[in-house]
Amino acid sequence: MQKAEASRKIEARKRGNRPGFWFFRTSVRLFGLRGTYGFLYIVCLYYALCDRSAISAALSYVDRRFPGSGFLRRRLDVYRLFVSQGKQLIDRYAAISALAIFDIRIKGYEQFMALVQDSRQGLILLTAHVGNWQIAMTTLKDIGKTVYLLMRPEDNPAVQDSLHISREQVHIKIISPEQHLGGVVEIMNVLREGHVVSIMGDRSYGFNAIEVSFLGEKAWFPHSAFSIAAAAGCPVVVLLSVKVSAHRYVVDVSNVLYPRYEGRRDKREQLQQWVQKFVAMLERYINQYPYQCFLFHNVWREESKSATG
């Protein structure tokens, strides 16, 4: 476990490190968004050819999304994924630093705002490593509630620096899943105060996962968002964002689930149904936007049942 943890931290340092961010930051200032995308094609070529761990992480998804592909096609798909992710990272930085303006349309905004304002129990925002969930978060700064991100603050300090996410920031705060009991006491408290808690629905972060069907195979996804929502009596709003053109994003928050345990039926069975609904939404998204799925974590591996990250 400690070895895996150390390895995860080393990998996080290797990719998306501070010099890398500095390079792209400077490039955006000097050459603009499209000019910086140009560098990206070269940098991603290196990763797609030489970074074994990154390739292996991406292939677990590529092989399920594009089954039966040959060696070259698989590598090309990995490359396209890396370029797509790189563009979205650059967009994120450019948006937050006001170096570029993006048209971000929110699908289901009115319903979402009604839930935020009506909900006395707060709500859970369930998202995944698809599209640009962080850019979507920037649109939530004016909702009048604090958004708490359940994430490891130590995961990648450079990414956080670039996003200007800090514990002190007023509208977006972090709850660490590494604190006692995975931070659930804090989560329940902020939900009770009517705030929003954002949870990645495709990463366990130490919480238990449940078996579902994903891209035609058995996979394990965490049920924490639904267990917490069922206990707290709050809704789960699914947030999926997609880059539809160079300067345009669509953030979809129109799918809302209301998990409530029915009678004495097996809770695990009920949780499984809710997680499967979420996974089905992800599948529809992935079928439409295959190169905006950055699920570089093997959710099909049985060890993901109790994955740490």
Partner 1 sequence: MEDQKEKRLADIREKLKGLLVENLSLEDVTPDEIKDDEILFGDGLGLDSLDAVEIVVLLQRNFGLEVKDMEKGREIFYSIDTLARYVYENTKNKS
CA end-to-end distance (rounded Å), the chain: 11
**Which lies closer to partner 1 via its Cβ, residue 108 or residue 153?**
153
The reply on whether position 120 binds partner 1 by CB under 8 A is no
- In the bound complex, what is the minimum distance in angstroms from residue 146's beta carbon to partner 1? 16
Give the Cα separation of 27 and 51 in Å (integer). 23
- Residue whose tokens read 């040959």: 70
**Contact criterion met (CB below 8 Å) for 124 and 191:** yes
Q: Does 232 bind partner 1 (CB under 8 A)?
A: yes
**Cα 125 to Cα 37, 198, 252, 304, distances in angstroms:** 30, 4, 11, 22
Counting contacts by CB under 8 A, is residue 270 touching partner 1?
A: no
Query: Is residue 215 near partner 1 by the rule CB under 8 A?
Result: no
Q: Phi and psi at residue 246, in whole multiples of 5°?
A: -50, -40
**Lookup: tokens for 28:** 């955006």
- Does 133 participate in binding partner 1 (rule CB under 8 A)? no
Give the dihedral sign, CA 46/92/152/252: negative
Shortest separation between residue 236's beta carbon and partner 1, angstroms: 14
Q: Please report whether residue 268 would count as binding partner 1 according to CB under 8 A.
A: yes
In the complex, minimum distance from the CB of residue 206 to partner 1, in angstroms, rounded to a whole number: 7
Q: Does 188 bind partner 1 (CB under 8 A)?
A: yes
Stretch that binds partner 1, among 21-29, 30-38, 160-168, 221-229 (CB under 8 A): 221-229
Closest CB to partner 1 among residues 37, 205: 205
| Sole binder of partner 1 in the list 51, 77, 91, 186 (CB under 8 A) | 186
The single residue among 7, 166, 189, 287 that binds partner 1, judged by CB under 8 A, is 189
Strand partners, 213: 218
How many Å apart are CA 307 and CA 173, to the nearest integer? 24
Give yes or no for residue 265 binding partner 1 (CB under 8 A): no
CA angle 246–248–253, rounded 5-degree value: 140
Options 88, 127, 227, 241; binder of partner 1; rule CB under 8 A: 227
